[in-house]
Structure 1
Amino acid sequence: MSEQLVSGFTAAVAIHITTSQAKHIFGISVPQHNGIFKVIKTWRDVCYNIPSTNFATLITTVICFIILYLVKVQINMRFKSRLKMPIPIELIIISIATGIAHFAEFNQRFNINILKDIPAGLPSPVLPNPVIATDYIADAFIIGIVAFTHSVSGARLMARKHNYEIDPNQELVASGAGSVVCSIFSGYINAGSLSRTIMVLDGTNGKSQIACLVGCVIVIIMILAIGPLFYSLPKVIWMVTFLTSSILDVDIGIASSLIFSLLTVSLRTQSPSSYTLGFVGKTNQLKSVDRYDPVVAPDNVRIVQFQAPIYFANADIFVRSVVKLTGIDLVKARKKQKQFNQIETNISPIDVIENCDLTMQIESKMSEKFVDGVEIVILDFSGVNFIDIVGIKALKRVYTDYNSIGIEVFIASCNDSVTSMMTSTDFMKDYEETVYLTVNCILTHKKLRSGLQV
């Protein structure tokens, strides 16, 4: 997945989280929506129910926001160099709020929603029922993609922030293995939590897996023993630190993003860049004749650079680009070639010797054989990442078309992938002598062999 896709998805997730918690922030009840435009529908219902806002819940939310902002931004961030460790304000707020809510009876006196019963202990291990697998396999696939994308997005955010690399494939294997274990204990699919990663782990300067291990131990202790103590914790306290967003539902959004990313790659190969190259001044550096000045193309030679892979979707575009950049009308050139062949067939050597005017006419016609005097076409493949069997056929077509009118075709600067494909498709068997390491090698060889002016 591209960085842009992950970044966009991360931003979208934030809006979804904010939307899902809006009813808790205002202390109102709104119906649950799913599918396309669920965010818009949810916010519409929130706006309709604003007059029913529980002001005690809203005031609690505002107070928590203010405290979080002051401590995290004005203290933890501004005095980061002076603090041995950031102030764990989230944990402090949760602890204090739980105590206040319990002894002040927030639920009874102000009708503030609280977490209430939290089951203690771990479920007994049991294998999932394969009989009902068909009922949830499609949803499981979508959830798996969303969970993996969510995890990778958080990992990449941390990787960019702390200057290290991640391996998405390794993350996928780890996520899959963890989900298998979770399923045995009736758990949800595992996924990275942006709130925990950014605000808790990174906020407390966690650097290794030991930090995660400590967190896991604390979570287990809470599940087994401390969970019931959070009975009186106001729900709004859990929501005030969440972020993020999107108009479409998460599964549709990630699917659309993946399709759009693949579409942009396809469109780029459908409109590739291609140039006619020449030498910069008296150097050996090749640059586009149209984009740089002064750039001079060698006499009698056209150097064409195609900057895209050549495969089934753009093979015809490649052929048309070569024809356009060489400036040769192949149809007219073939007609001239046919006329030359007929003239040479119908005229005997004696007629040529006895008729000087006829000889001059033939030579004049022959001089028009090439457009702009082009004798050599060099294909610079330095911008071609790969080529498939359809691309090889298109390349052979270029050779056939130009060779049929007496123009030599050469290829330079192929990478290993392109060379391997040429070898496996027997292209090298027919045209190996025309493939060179660099453009300069071709020009040097032709100059030494035939005195071509380059």
Structure 2
Amino acid sequence: MCDTVDSGTQVAIHELGNRDGEDQGWREDIKQGCSRFVRSCCTVKTAKTRLPILTWLPTYRLAWLFRDFVAGFTVGLTVIPQGLAYAALAELPLQYGLYSAFMGCFVYCVFGGSRHVTLGPTAITTLMVAEYVNGEPVYAVVLCLLAGCVQFLMGVLHLGFLVNFISFPVLAGFSSAAAITIATSQVKLVLGLKNIPRSFIKAVPTIFQKITHTNLSDMGMGIVCFVVLIVLKKLKEVDWDKKKGTLQKPPLWQKILRKVLWLFGTVRNAVVVVAASVVAYGLLTRGISTFTLTKEIKPGLPAFQPPQFWLVKNGTVVKNGPEIIQDIGVGLVIVPLIGFLESIAIGKAFARKGNYRIDATQELIAIGVTNMLGSFVSAYPVTGSFGRTAVNYQSGVKTQLGGLFTGILVILALAFLTPSFKYIPSAALGAVIISAVIQMVEYSVIPVFWRVKKLDLLAFFVTFFGVLLLGIQYGIALGVGVSLIILLYPSARPRATVYPASIAPDDVLIVQLESGLNFPAVDYMRDVVAKDAFKEKPYKNVVMRCCCVSDIDCTVVQALDQLIEEFEARGLKLHFSCMRPDIRAALVRSKIKGFRYFKTCEDAIAAMREPDQENGEVIMTDHALLSNIDTPNDDTPDNTPDNVPCTIHIPAVNVSKVTAV
């Protein structure tokens, strides 16, 4: 056997060894990166950030317990009737509204970063649930689990910034249209009508067609409940001290009366629902059944079990997991995004009032965990509620512990009060929802949009009418699309100022870019420059002042190269001035033929007018970028004001000749 190895085999063995070394280095890098990540996650600071209860619980004072109890109890009295009403809006059995009302109270107590925010069913999320689950509880629970997973992953991956692409005009248009849609859907309960479509565009004509079938008892109950709700709300908002116009302390009886009125105004939903139920029960005991009542509600607490990924009817599985997910469709994206956007907006608003900050990533995690765990108790997706958060704030809550008392009260209601819920008139629940959503119509922002930026009105009305006429997903998609077009349009049509001959010399045209230069604007900018440069008596030189250009890309570089060639073919020279060092360095590296740069417009014109010592004529001297700019690593900006037009003064200086780049 031969003991020698040929050179080719030696090279192959050497390369194989190098590959093994590279693989080991790659694996070692991954191992070290994972180790650093684990160490960073296992710190006290990270634990306090991701579990805010570790921050506020060690400093909890016993004196705060009573305030948290009062606030939690008050919010509980608010969420119970609202939960029942929102379940009716979602076309689900009423107990599902209460199933959705307590898990968020416990989870947010541990993971939530705001002491004021309360999680639970809201009008917006309920409308979206009604849109995508079609009255099927199985669909609602699956949507809750998957929406929670999406929100949790967004929090882990720090993707909360995505909701920033939904502008305020879009959000205002969506909430206004949603409020009108919700109120319209509840008119059927107030009037006692049956078989009214959920869609606004179909519901309105159907209501008018069936108006003659109105149940007068339901209509009377609904109107009375609505009026009482509005009156109690107004009494709660009265500033008695300001109204009296004095700083004297009121008598004790006045203080007690004001507190009672404030309490009744705060829990007005519970007051109205209880009173309406008492009236309906009293009439039933006398054999009078004039009101449309809610259906029998399943008593007791929900079982804690994994969500069911199949739909069973008459003992037969009619839908499996993939089919359910396919039926929900874009709701898996819209519900978690809108839910988070609603909650973070509420959290930031009350954080400003309470002089503290909240972390958007942590809020995503809190809402995600709430919905994931909520699906195990048959809840549908929840988010922060503005109305109940306001009640929490006005009740003087001190910490997130207030949510614990709210959750306990809801559980007690499920355990002991569900048999009495069957006496609640449907008209009363309809009045509760209508009174809650009418304040969501953002009509006051229209004058603001008109004064600040009229194009925002376009995004507002496109979203508004899109949601009303086409549905939630199409309305939001149209609104976001219009909003992005409004945002990107200045990039495609940047502003530019062309200085005439009265400012610049007769044969020099100066173009000042007053905004950035990106690839969508290349053709437009070429047309702007060529419009004045390529006339019957064209200019000999064009100076492009680029002080506002903050970024370029390959498309811009290619277009500038073509523009310089086109200018030279027509006998013109294109010059650049006032560039940022990083932009200049990028253009140097691109090696554009004939690229000329000067620090100021005056330097460029001085170079154009430099006398030739041999024939005494004024000729163009091509100045190279490399002799006229600082080194590419120099980040010192030019001392030329960015927003001041070039006033041309031709200095009497000689500029040395350098070969152009």
Tell whether the structures are fold-level matches, with TM greater than 0.5: yes
1: distance between equivalents of 2:576 and 2:565?
Answer: 12
Deviation at 1:202, TM superposition (A): 5.8
Classify the secondary structure of the residue corresponding to 1:313: helix
Corresponding residue of 1:223: 414
Q: Is the 8 A contact 2:498 2:512 kept in 1?
A: yes
Corresponding residue of 1:50: 211
Classify the secondary structure of the residue corresponding to 2:334: helix
Deviation at 1:195, TM superposition (A): 5.1
Q: How does 1:264-283 map to 2 (within 5 A)?
A: 264-276=486-498
Partner deviation per Cα, 1:257-284 (whole Å, 9 max, x = no partner): 222223333444443322236xxxxxxx
2: distance between equivalents of 1:128 and 1:146?
Answer: 20
Classify the secondary structure of the residue corresponding to 1:104: helix
2: distance between equivalents of 1:385 and 1:80?
Answer: 56
Q: Is the 8 A contact 2:298 2:418 kept in 1?
A: yes
Aligned CA distance change for structure 1 residues 45 and 143 (closer, same or farther; 3 Å): farther
1:317 corresponds to 2:483 = no
Aligned AA for 1:437?
D
Corresponding residue of 1:345: none
Aligned CA distance change for structure 1 residues 408 and 233 (closer, same or farther; 3 Å): same
Deviation at 1:28, TM superposition (A): 1.4
Aligned AA for 1:149?
I
Q: How does 1:277-316 map to 2 (within 5 A)?
A: 297-299=503-505, 302-316=509-523
2:562 to 391, 397, 416: 397
Q: Is the 8 A contact 1:10 1:150 kept in 2?
A: no
Aligned CA distance change for structure 1 residues 185 and 74 (closer, same or farther; 3 Å): closer
Corresponding residue of 2:603: none
Corresponding residue of 1:354: none
Long gaps (5+) in structure 1 = 278-288, 290-294, 333-367
Aligned CA distance change for structure 1 residues 132 and 415 (closer, same or farther; 3 Å): farther
Classify the secondary structure of the residue corresponding to 1:305: strand
Corresponding residue of 1:182: 374
1:412 corresponds to 2:578 = yes
Deviation at 1:411, TM superposition (A): 4.1
Q: Is the 8 A contact 2:503 2:647 kept in 1?
A: no
Q: How does 1:6-405 map to 2 (within 5 A)?
A: 6-33=171-198, 38-79=199-240, 87-88=265-266, 89-105=268-284, 109-126=289-306, 129=309, 132-137=321-326, 139-153=328-342, 155-156=344-345, 159=348, 163=352, 171-193=363-385, 196-197=388-389, 200-201=391-392, 204=395, 209-240=400-431, 241-243=435-437, 246-276=468-498, 297-299=503-505, 302-324=509-531, 327-329=532-534, 371=539, 375=541, 377-382=543-548, 384=549, 386-402=551-567, 405=571
2: distance between equivalents of 1:182 and 1:140?
Answer: 21
Aligned CA distance change for structure 1 residues 54 and 386 (closer, same or farther; 3 Å): farther
2: distance between equivalents of 1:408 and 1:46?
Answer: 69
After TM superposition, the structure 1 stretch with the greater mean CA deviation from structure 2, 225-234 or 44-53, is 225-234
Classify the secondary structure of the residue corresponding to 1:272: coil
Deviation at 1:410, TM superposition (A): 1.7
2: distance between equivalents of 1:208 and 1:424?
Answer: 58
1: distance between equivalents of 2:217 and 2:394?
Answer: 29
Classify the secondary structure of the residue corresponding to 1:231: helix
1: distance between equivalents of 2:423 and 2:274?
Answer: 11
Classify the secondary structure of the residue corresponding to 1:410: strand
Aligned AA for 1:53?
T
Aligned CA distance change for structure 1 residues 44 and 443 (closer, same or farther; 3 Å): closer
2: distance between equivalents of 1:128 and 1:449?
Answer: 85
Aligned CA distance change for structure 1 residues 296 and 380 (closer, same or farther; 3 Å): farther
2: distance between equivalents of 1:151 and 1:194?
Answer: 13
Aligned CA distance change for structure 1 residues 270 and 122 (closer, same or farther; 3 Å): same
Aligned CA distance change for structure 1 residues 189 and 69 (closer, same or farther; 3 Å): closer
Partner deviation per Cα, 1:405-427 (whole Å, 9 max, x = no partner): 453522435497x6797588677
2: distance between equivalents of 1:257 and 1:424?
Answer: 41
Deviation at 1:209, TM superposition (A): 3.8
1: distance between equivalents of 2:328 and 2:210?
Answer: 32
1: distance between equivalents of 2:589 and 2:376?
Answer: 49
Q: Is the 8 A contact 1:39 1:248 kept in 2?
A: no
Q: Is the 8 A contact 2:564 2:594 kept in 1?
A: no
Deviation at 1:43, TM superposition (A): 1.6
Deviation at 1:9, TM superposition (A): 0.6
Corresponding residue of 1:352: none
Aligned CA distance change for structure 1 residues 400 and 140 (closer, same or farther; 3 Å): same
Corresponding residue of 2:316: none
Partner deviation per Cα, 1:165-205 (whole Å, 9 max, x = no partner): 8776655454444333333443322334455456x446656
Corresponding residue of 2:111: none
Deviation at 1:305, TM superposition (A): 3.3
Normalising by structure 1, report the TM-score.
0.69
2: distance between equivalents of 1:161 and 1:413?
Answer: 45
Corresponding residue of 2:62: none
Corresponding residue of 1:365: none
1: distance between equivalents of 2:584 and 2:219?
Answer: 67
Aligned residues: 387
Corresponding residue of 2:75: none
1: distance between equivalents of 2:588 and 2:272?
Answer: 68
2: distance between equivalents of 1:308 and 1:147?
Answer: 36
1: distance between equivalents of 2:589 and 2:417?
Answer: 66
Partner deviation per Cα, 1:391-410 (whole Å, 9 max, x = no partner): 22223334444466453522
Query: Which structure carries more relative contact order (alpha carbon 8 Å, separation 6+)?
Result: 2
Aligned CA distance change for structure 1 residues 390 and 229 (closer, same or farther; 3 Å): same
Classify the secondary structure of the residue corresponding to 1:56: helix
Aligned CA distance change for structure 1 residues 388 and 248 (closer, same or farther; 3 Å): same
Classify the secondary structure of the residue corresponding to 2:436: coil
Q: Is the 8 A contact 2:518 2:553 kept in 1?
A: yes
1: distance between equivalents of 2:241 and 2:219?
Answer: 31
Deviation at 1:317, TM superposition (A): 0.9
